[in-house]
């Protein structure tokens, strides 16, 4: 298995830990293949974000470089999430997890709640994933972790195709929602400040790649038109990471439906940019 190109330190020396979770067992999508994403993102990372010149490897770094030590922990099974993340959080390292379907996030956030029960969840997604009539699948994640987060300081970004049940749940729990249309109206600078003003001290980011418009990220499990641009997305993520995060996951890349590795490459760049922005 290739390791992601961003640094590759030993675990003991690392600040950030990359973990692959190649599992899509709780997905109901007609598009299958998100379990292939962790390895494919690593491949794209080495193929497109690194270069060999005079037999020496060089990285195409973010503009402000990467000063953090990064360990690629490899892949784990879904049932290994609790013990793996207990260790990572206990060691005060920042996990960046690569899925897999979005349901894995609920297990990570539940484990994080043992460290912080006032977590501000920043949920990037085309869908609210706030179905509560059904539990423990990729469309119920937000509802499944509601008791593990601080709703008043949490926020959903990119939402544009909710079900009525989800709209009712969002309203009942007073969850802040920012749509792509609001970003278009107010501009990314004002939106980013609005997001930062809402968040509490302990922040976790859960990022579904279908938050981004399919023109930038075609290889996702449930594509929805009229999403965020890749630049607006990274602007927001970098501002949040610079403020400070406890962890992040990136899910729902679906390599069999990608075009020339565009989505996997974008995911690799996003991971690198987040790492470069973490305090």
User: What pLDDT was estimated at residue 57?
Assistant: 81
Instruction: Assess if residue 6 is contained within a domain.
Output: no
Task: Assess if residue 189 is contained within a domain.
Answer: yes
Report DSSP state, residue 202.
S
Q: Which residues pair with 252 in a beta bridge?
A: none
Q: Rounded CA gap, 86 and 53, in Å?
A: 40
Q: Is residue 2 assigned to a domain?
A: no
Could you tell me if residue 1 is inside a domain? no
For every residue of 74-118, DSSP letters joined together read EE--GGGHHHHHHHHHHTT-EEEEEESSTTHHHHHHHHHTTT-SS
SS3 157: strand
Instruction: Tell me what pLDDT residue 112 has.
Output: 96
User: Domain limits at 185?
Assistant: 11-277
d(CA 182, CA 179): 5
Dihedrals phi, psi of 23, to nearest 5 degrees: -135, 130
How far the first Cα of the chain sits from its last, in Å, is 29
Give the other-Cβ count within 10 Å of 243's Cβ: 16
Q: What is the pLDDT of residue 156?
A: 98
Mean pLDDT by 10 residues, the chain (279 residues): 91 97 94 98 94 84 91 98 97 97 97 91 98 93 97 98 97 98 98 98 98 98 98 98 98 98 98 95
Q: Which residues, 6 or more positions from 213, have their beta carbon under 8 angstroms from its beta carbon?
A: 180, 225, 226, 227, 228, 229
Residue 155: inside a domain: yes
- Cα four-point dihedral sign 256, 84, 242, 58: negative
What is d(CA 98, CA 87) in angstroms, rounded to the nearest whole number? 17
Q: Would residue 5 count as lying in a domain?
A: no
CA–CA separation, 4 and 60 (whole Å) = 13
Measured distance CA(227)–CA(21) in Å, rounded: 25
Q: Is residue 102 part of a domain?
A: yes
Q: Total structural domains in the chain?
A: 1
CATH of the domain at 38: 3.40.800.10
The candidate with the shortest Cα–Cα distance to 214, out of 173, 170, 253, 183, is: 253
Q: Alpha-carbon dihedral of residues 81, 238, 267, 127, nearest 10 degrees? A: 70
pLDDT score of 166? 97
* Cα–Cα distance for residue pair 191/183, rounded to 1 Å: 6
**204 in Cβ contact with 107 (< 8 Å):** no
Return the ∠ at Cα 5 (arms to 2 and 8), rounded to 5°. Answer: 85
Angle between helices 262-277 and 37-48 (to 10 degrees): 80
């Amino acid at each position: 298995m290739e390791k992601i190109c961003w640094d590759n330190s030993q675990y003991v020396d690392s600040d950030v830990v990359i973990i692959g979770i190649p599992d899509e067992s709780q997905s109901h999508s007609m598009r299958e293949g998100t379990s292939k994403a962790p390895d494919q993102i690593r491949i794209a990372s080495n193929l497109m974000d690194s270069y060999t010149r005079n037999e020496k490897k060089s990285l195409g770094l973010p503009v402000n470089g990467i000063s953090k030590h990064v360990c690629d922990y490899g892949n784990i099974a879904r049932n290994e999430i609790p013990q793996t993340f207990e260790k990572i959080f206990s060691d005060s390292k920042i996990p960046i997890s690569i899925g897999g379907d979005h349901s894995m996030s609920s297990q990570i956030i539940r484990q994080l709640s043992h460290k912080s029960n006032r977590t501000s969840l920043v949920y990037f997604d085309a869908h609210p994933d706030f179905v509560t009539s059904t539990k423990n699948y990729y469309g119920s994640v937000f509802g499944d972790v509601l008791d593990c987060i601080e709703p008043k300081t949490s926020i959903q970004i990119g939402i544009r195709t909710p079900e009525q049940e989800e709209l009712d749940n969002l309203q009942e729990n007073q969850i802040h929602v920012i749509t792509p249309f609001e970003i278009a109206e107010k501009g990314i600078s004002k939106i980013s400040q609005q997001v930062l003003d809402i968040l509490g001290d302990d922040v976790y980011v859960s990022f579904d790649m279908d938050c981004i418009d399919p023109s930038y990220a075609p290889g996702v499990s449930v594509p929805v038109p009229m999403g965020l641009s890749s630049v607006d997305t990274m602007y927001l993520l970098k501002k949040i990471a610079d403020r400070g995060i406890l962890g992040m996951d990136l899910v729902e890349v679906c390599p069999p439906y990608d075009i020339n590795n565009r989505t996997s490459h974008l995911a690799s760049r996003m991971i690198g940019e987040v790492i470069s922005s973490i305090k």
